[in-house]
Amino acid sequence: MENKWTDRTALLLGEDKMSRLSNAHVLVVGVGGVGAYAAEMLCRAGVGELTIIDADTVNTTNINRQLPATHSSVGRLKTEVLAEHLLDVNPSLRLHALPIYLKEEAVGELLQAEKYDFIVDAIDTIAPKCALLGEALRRGIPIVSSMGAGAKSDITQIRFADLWDTYHCGLAKAVRTRLKKEGLRRSLPVVFSTEQADRRAVITVEGEQNKKSTAGTISYMPAVFGCYLAEYVIRKL
């Protein structure tokens, strides 16, 4: 009998779970340091349909930590590079790669256009991140969100938690504040780190769209965040 590439996963999870994964459609928004690894792990686990969204192109500063980033991919769309990679893993994957910047006003239309079984939020910009989280909560679509991985290096302090129980994370604090103003103090699963950010690793930047500062990063932290997100989705589907 010919071996299937999913055989080892099926041995662990069972055929019923594999069938649910194969029939699931997961939306991953943001495929940079965290989201690309989440998408790959979902793909390798056997999730049958993925929609990936990101407008960015690969920059040389991404190479230290982002899955789509290599010297040969600089300048290419991250969604394009990742799509090629995912389809090489699973040629039967039903993949929708959208190279768009998700604006607040477009979130409702996005979630209305398709039925998503789960959403992975790996956006690092407050406005669209909170718009996606808020709309998913209102519509009752399962979602898991990544908080900040920058300026941190200790993987032993990465945790699952409810958004409202997080600490030592500036991004989580900003998200809590925005959602609270919108009257959305609802349970929201997130991945975050209890480690305090190294302030020496954060610098202000000018002239970059939707970005006031940039943080130092290490290769493994975004990858582990992405794996946590994928594990949560796989466990819940």
C-alpha distance from residue 116 to each of 54, 99, 141, 176, 193 (Å): 17, 18, 7, 24, 27
CA–CA dist 123, 30 (Å, integer): 5
What percent of the chain is modeled with pLDDT above 70?
Answer: 97
Specify if 162 maps to a domain. Answer: yes
CATH of the domain at 131: 3.40.50.720
pLDDT above 90: residue 12: yes
Q: Provide the angle, in degrees to the nearest 10, between the axes of the packed helices 126-139 and 170-181.
A: 50
Tell me if 63 is assigned to some domain.
yes
What pLDDT sits at residue 212?
A: 72
Q: Is 2 a domain residue?
A: no
pLDDT per residue as tens digits for the range 80-115: 999 999 999 999 999 999 999 999 999 999 999 999
Whether the pLDDT of residue 210 is over 80: the answer is no
- In the chain, % of residues over pLDDT 90: 93
Residue 205 confidence class, pLDDT cut points 50, 70, 90 = confident
Phi-psi region of 46 (alpha: psi -120 to 50; beta: other; left: phi over 0): left
**How many domains are there within the chain?**
1
Q: Is 8 part of a structural domain of the chain?
A: no
Q: How confident is the model at residue 78 (pLDDT cuts 50, 70, 90)?
A: very high
Domain contains 218:
yes
* pLDDT (mean) for 212-221: 91
Query: Is residue 114 packed enough to be buried (19+ CB in 10 Å), middle (13-18) or exposed (0-12)?
Result: exposed
**Residue 4 in domain:** no
Three-state SS letters, 85-111: HHHHHCCCCEEEEECCCCCHHHHHHHH
**pLDDT, average across residues 28-56:** 98
The more confidently predicted of residues 118 and 2 is 118
Give 1's pLDDT tier (boundaries 50, 70, 90).
low
Residue 146, classed as helix, strand or coil, is: strand
Q: Is residue 154 part of a domain?
A: yes
Residue 145's pLDDT band (boundaries 50, 70, 90)?
very high
Question: Does residue 206 belong to any structural domain of this protein?
Answer: yes
Q: What is the pTM of this model?
A: 0.95
Give the separation between CA 76 and CA 57, rounded to whole angstroms: 5
Look at residue 137 and tell me whether its pLDDT is greater than 90.
yes
> Which residue range is the domain that position 68 belongs to?
14-236
